[in-house]
Structure 1
Amino acid sequence: MSESKDAYALAGVDIAAGNAAVAQYREVLGRWQHPDQLDAIGGFGGLFAMPGDAARALVASTDGVGTKILIAAELERYDGVGRDLVNHCVNDILVVNASPLFFLDYYAVGKLDPEIAAAVVSGCANACRAHGCALLGGETAEMPGLYAPGHFDLAGTIVGVVDRAAVPNPASVEPGDAVIGLPAVGLHTNGYSLARALIPHEQWLQPFGDATYADALLAEHPSYYEAVRAIQKVASVKVMAHITGGGLLENLPRTLRPEVKAVLEQSRWSVPAIQQVLVERGGLTHEERYRTLNMGIGYTLVVPVDDAARAVAAVPGAKTIGWIEARTGEEAQVTIHPARSTD
């Protein structure tokens, strides 16, 4: 990270440091790879050859809810974070076209309150049931002294399955393809350290739009599973991306080949009001806002331009947000700019 840190780093989350850590993980893990491991670390989900079935692969991913938990804990709204967690994990393995099989949660706290724990896990269970995904179990860890009173952490691991022939292929992406965006409803599970720095807890219960700041901050991280399956029925989906930490600038390139870039027009979609507040209060630069927040796009799909209209029509709120171009040299893999004139 340069000496001039961005607003998110000043709030305590250094995305560049996270990227550097992953680079070191690759170096360590690159020394040996299991023969049935089908890809390298760093993807949205890891693939492992299905024992006894060469045509299919298991897909696994682990994630957490982040400091959204601190807002939920202070407001005593516990069940939502369980749904956030499962939906986030479902979306991650969906990027490689996997369907969820089972989920395990990890709930850690300094002093265990059984009712709070049950409320948190009930959110996980409800979201698993909505996806036909088994909640096999997990771990409840009581660790005095590690967490402040009332605080807890929540993480989970999901395992799904995919036909290996159906795994999206970045090599299929060509200049002229369309980028479809599915709408975000809020921060989802990223950007909360910045949000807590810019929206003090004294304001959380104050009116904001038709509800309160708290309602906007705790809006559920949606699952895009059904939306993606609906689009796949009418369009050829080449690659997908879940827009989480790192925003559009870092997540969309994760499934593009180096020879292409995505060009997006920010005026083609709406930015949730809560994110507009953060941009204004934090004075976020163009790069900061699209690297820290989802800025209104929760999931992207690349389809042939001839399929774009059918893809958009298949899901309410879906929009064509940009296109694919050839990339040369050291050009950025994602460019976001205002709509171009048609004159």
Structure 2
Amino acid sequence: MTTYKESGVDIAAGEEAVKKIKNDVKKTFNKNVLLDIGGFGGAFNFPVNEYKKPILVSSVDGVGTKLKIAFLSNVHDTIGQCLVNHCTNDILVLGAKPLFFLDYFATDQLKTDVFQSVVKGLTKACIENDCALIGGETAEMPGFYKKDEYDISGTVVGVLDKKNLLSNRQVQKGDILIGLESTGLHTNGYSLARNVLLNKFKIDDYIEDLGCTVAESLLAIHKSYLQPLLPIINNENLHALSHVTGGGIIANTLRVIDKKNEIFIDWDSWERPPIFKLIQDIGNVPEYDMRESMNLGIGMIMIVDSNNLSFFENHLNSVNQSYKIIGNIK
């Protein structure tokens, strides 16, 4: 006789894991969450009275091969934060704030402590972004993933009033590009970073130039820009936002401007964090490749009316958001 458990799927362990994360997940709930986790779906009471013409905005993403760093270092509580923050930034580009989040976690064999650690990261970021974690899927898939590895993805749903849809605003010649500083690689460029750094260093090596270990630098949490930008997101002089992810500064910013416009970047206008210099120097990585694969220290770009630059600078200073003027629209 062969059982499902002997084949690699432990139903009881999965149910026990869900029980252990319930308290953390419930910390993200608000008055609009209608169901507990563990059902067939999540239910959310949409706050219709808070909007005149509401638009729902959604995004789904993962964290790429940053997961490999988590596996090697056995640190799993930052990955969930990176995932939620990445998705939040993506809908923020359209002017939306998150309502709720759902995750997908798949592994070869469920290890409850690892799963709990990942979920703690998810819930921490959901609380910080005022977003409810209303459901998810946990899958054991023996033979599909390598031992002790997993994959994770997430979906966020947010809202804004139709009149405030950022993609309807017009980027104009002369607009200024304000670069908001990143915390590191965020969730892009890890295949290159791993290929370069892990061929020279061990994951727990302390690097003097970084002031931390390789793992600590590469696991730096993808920053959410929701809180610093939410107070001014509906200002009409903010013409566009660009979340700098895969493709780098130029490719992502081209996604939010008209084809008739061009982007000028002063690549010397900010100091790149040491991790990027380390990767480029050790790997002899061409400059164009660095620019196309990594954020280089700029995680979000605001495109603003030049006549109102001081307003946005004053706001960013007031919320302690580091920034640099990095270019303009031509």
* Matches of 2:233 and 2:311, distance apart in 1: 10
Deviation at 1:170, TM superposition (A): 5.8
* Matches of 2:63 and 2:179, distance apart in 1: 23
Structure 1 length-normalised TM: 0.76
C-alpha contact 2:55 2:161 (8 A) present in aligned 1: yes
* Matches of 1:170 and 1:251, distance apart in 2: 17
* Matches of 2:94 and 2:292, distance apart in 1: 22
Deviation at 1:184, TM superposition (A): 1.0
Change (3 A) 1:277 1:110: same
Residue 329 (structure 2) pairs with residue 324 (structure 1): yes
* Matches of 2:231 and 2:181, distance apart in 1: 15
* Matches of 2:98 and 2:57, distance apart in 1: 9
- AA partner of residue 263 (structure 1): F
Deviations 1:58-96 (A, max 9, x none): 000000011111111121110100000000000000000
Report what 2:274 is aligned to: 273
After the TM superposition, which residues 171-186 of structure 1 pair with which residues of structure 2 at under 5 Å, given as runs? 172-186=170-184
* Matches of 1:99 and 1:231, distance apart in 2: 12
After the TM superposition, which residues 11-50 of structure 1 pair with which residues of structure 2 at under 5 Å, given as runs? none
Deviations 1:41-67 (A, max 9, x none): xxxxxxxxx999881210000000111
After the TM superposition, which residues 46-85 of structure 1 pair with which residues of structure 2 at under 5 Å, given as runs? 55-85=53-83
- AA partner of residue 239 (structure 2): K
Report what 1:28 is aligned to: none
C-alpha contact 2:72 2:203 (8 A) present in aligned 1: no
After the TM superposition, which residues 210-249 of structure 1 pair with which residues of structure 2 at under 5 Å, given as runs? 210-232=211-233, 236-249=237-250
Q: From 88, 105, 113, give the equivalent of 2:86.
A: 88
Deviation at 1:279, TM superposition (A): 1.5
Change (3 A) 1:170 1:57: closer
Residue 149 (structure 2) pairs with residue 151 (structure 1): yes
Deviation at 1:112, TM superposition (A): 0.6
Report what 1:261 is aligned to: 262
* SS of aligned partner of 2:157: strand
Report what 2:115 is aligned to: 117
Aligned length: 276
- AA partner of residue 191 (structure 2): S
Change (3 A) 1:180 1:235: farther
Aligned-residue CA RMSD in angstroms? Answer: 2.0
Gaps of 5+ in 2: 1-46
Report what 1:206 is aligned to: 205
Gaps of 5+ in 1: 1-49, 326-343
- AA partner of residue 188 (structure 1): H
Most deviating of 51-60 and 239-248: 51-60
* Matches of 1:61 and 1:154, distance apart in 2: 14
* Matches of 2:234 and 2:97, distance apart in 1: 15
Deviation at 1:165, TM superposition (A): 0.7
Deviation at 1:249, TM superposition (A): 2.1
- AA partner of residue 113 (structure 1): K
* SS of aligned partner of 2:120: helix
Deviation at 1:235, TM superposition (A): 7.4
Deviation at 1:284, TM superposition (A): 2.4
* SS of aligned partner of 1:203: coil
After the TM superposition, which residues 262-341 of structure 1 pair with which residues of structure 2 at under 5 Å, given as runs? 262-315=263-316, 316-325=321-330
Change (3 A) 1:230 1:267: farther
Deviations 1:112-151 (A, max 9, x none): 1011111101110111011111101100010001111111
* Matches of 1:137 and 1:321, distance apart in 2: 40
* Matches of 2:159 and 2:266, distance apart in 1: 34
Deviation at 1:232, TM superposition (A): 4.1
Identity %, equivalent residues: 38
Report what 2:136 is aligned to: 138
Deviation at 1:161, TM superposition (A): 0.4
Report what 1:197 is aligned to: 195
Structure 2 length-normalised TM: 0.79
Change (3 A) 1:230 1:171: closer
Report what 1:328 is aligned to: none
- AA partner of residue 148 (structure 2): G
* Matches of 1:171 and 1:309, distance apart in 2: 20
Deviation at 1:234, TM superposition (A): 7.2
